[in-house]
Structure 1
Amino acid sequence: MSPVLLDAPDTEESDDGDDGSARVVDPASAAYVIYTSGSTGRPKGVVVEHRQVVEFVLTIVGTFRLAPGDRVLQFANPAFDVSVFDFFSALTSGAALVQAPVECCTTSTGSPN
């Protein structure tokens, strides 16, 4: 597996601002939408705001006292809402994100072979 270097010199420059600063995001703006059928059986989208993601991730980092040198196991499908826990708790705390082998996550019984 090759590392992804987001700050590598050959990474394309952002056009967000002339000074290289990041774009400011309104905390109430949508971070993503979860589609669920809930109890009705009819699909509907539920908007998750940036502030909700930030509060959730900071709570996880604090609860588990994640810090550089720790490891977070990434086993949730990235298309599943709970993957926010895996990805962003590691990125926010400086912990390493360790991906589970795909075989562990895709068996028909839901458990490792």
Structure 2
Amino acid sequence: MKLRKLRVRVGWTQRELAEKIPLNHSQIAKYELGNETPPEDINILLDGLLGADGDLSDLWVHVKRQPFPDRLRKYLEYEAKATAMHTYLALGSKGQWRSSTHANQVRRSDSCHVAQVFIQ
């Protein structure tokens, strides 16, 4: 949001700012929306071009470079297992995987890696 305010204050469009760096204007939009964080060298260029007096550089130091916060890690693990289960179930015909005994046999036979993920 700060980046957009600085760009508007200078009177440039995203395209005009992107040409000065050089970047694609869609990349500027991603930075402004917070969907991506500019690399440090681009951030320094933006800071200088927009006359931010070091404000953008100061903010960059505080940005966490993690794609997902720790609180979401468990959710991502469950989502991966659910996707594997969905894929596993799609491999068999309807009702084929009804018993855990059959699923364990498939897992032991090593015929399906996804079955291993499903049973665990």
| Common fold: TM-score over 0.5 | no
Which protein is bigger by CA-based radius of gyration?
2
TM-score of the superposed pair, with normalisation by structure 1 = 0.23
Higher helix share: 2
